[in-house]
Structure 1
Amino acid sequence: MPAWANLKMGLASVMLGLLAFTAQAQTSDLVSKHALRVCADPANLPMSSKDGTGYENKIADLIGEKLDLPVRYEWYPMATGFVRNTLKPKKCDVIIGYAQGHELVLNTNHYLTSTFVLITPQDSPLAQVTSLSDQTLKGARIGVIAGTPPATHMARNGLIGKAKPYNLTVDRRYESPAENMLDDLQNGEIDAAILWGPIGGPLVKQQHADFAAIPLFEETLPPRLYYRITMGVRQGEKVWQRELNSLIRRNQDEINAILAEAGVPLINDMGTGLLDVGQ
């Protein structure tokens, strides 16, 4: 091959490398260097709250501390339009809790695996139930968030007839289905409640010490009841994603401690048993 051809190929390779570097730099420059800008719901306890008491607030504080950046929030209800009105227009740079695999965001590695829980008074016969196929549940009045995976299991097992549904997507500033469900359980209007563990577990620990929250990780039929939770960033921001992945990996024990202290039921990545977090 002539020398000029080698030179031409070399220059082309350099130019491609420069273009890739420039694109990467442009992507990372979208992320604030002056603050950890968090997209969050101002009224979504136990996860996030404007007063900073949610466990996602505490995880954000941990990440901000590791980055040596102050935490700043862009508040918006976690409902339809949340990503479109916060992360996408670059008003903030990370959502602390987002389900793995959702196409609206670029997911980091997961830092939390949890499952739905069955909540019932500790002295109830239902407190021994670990699966929605358990015959002990027959005839029970069970509260469930409409459209969630446990409702499918309840229908399969003949539990829908007496079920009480609660709304799935709401503005938590005005409506709180999970808290309403637990109030109904406290008042005897239902016999048990089924909630997503990272919501139900902390609410039981903080507000209903006489309840038991039983992780439902023994279901063998679909749909699965356990899910992995990640942080969410803008599509294409691979540099920022990798930085957060590294922070999650190096600080997983501290993240686990925050979650365990809050009352979040942590299970292993395969959804087969409780995670030992040393507490």
Structure 2
Amino acid sequence: MHKDDVRPIRSLVFVPGDDAGALDTSRSSGADAVVVDLEEPREPFSDEQRRDAGRMVGEFLRSLPDDGDHPSYFVRVRSPRTGLMYRDLHPVLCGALTGVLTPKLEDGRDVVAADAIVTAAEVENDVAVGTVALYPILETAAALRNAYDIADASPRVAYMGGAISRFGDIHQSVGYRWTAEGTETLFIRSKVLIDCRAAGIKYPISGMWGGTNDDLDGLRRFATELRDLGYFGMMLNTAEHVDVVHEVFSPTADEVRYWADLDRLATEAAADPDAGPITYGDPNDGEGHVVHGAHVASARKNLAWARELGLA
């Protein structure tokens, strides 16, 4: 998979890789994508349990129907720095696997190593080389500092974003105290977003809501801020949040109508050599009233996003 080939992911739900029931339920979760966690689904997690989990996840992925009527599936495996990434990846890598979440990276060299490991696993499992995407998780201060280099280190890096969480590795590394308002991570989320977009990540995805599962108002506020910043989706620790998150990370009917109008007006003007300046709406709208090329380009880009979501 290449950066340019990706589809938007609004919701990325984590499920433990050692829970057969959770795996089966994930197929009907309504999420755009599911991450099967083989790195640290629980504590403790012995080598024997990890091997059993890998076999189970591999069987599950290979049993998925080819009709695509299920979420996209990713697996989270141990970091290439551990020397154990291939051991986790080999039993689960198959044609049904969209990508690999690579945790605890430090810089672009880790991505290069992960790319080589995924290539080896593709070859050993008769999967076309380059099929499986990489999704680096930025969980350390060094990874946040080197976000652009990480995103740019391999054409496999198709998805990326900040791994914001309340209790996870990034909290330990940076030392912030989580708040529902999220001001303590606003710079992190903004910095990573710019690095992602500069490196060609089409649809950046952010980290989790750290509040209680029943605080849907808090979740909506956080998700709306992420969308306002420029993110197109977020990680989730429960499928209960999918509906709210999909609503926030989907264009509204009014937005789609506006983009379609600009696309139509620009197309009509291009075919008429005598067409005057394109205007739209109320003159009081200021910048939005006189339509320029940048407005049209943005509208068409947003329409493509809406079409990929099946909403235009």
User: TM-score when scaled to structure 2?
Assistant: 0.26
Larger proportion of helix: 2
Q: Relative contact order (C-alpha < 8 Å, sep 6+): which is higher? A: 1
Taking structure 1 as the reference length, what is the TM-score of the superposition?
A: 0.28
Higher strand proportion? 1
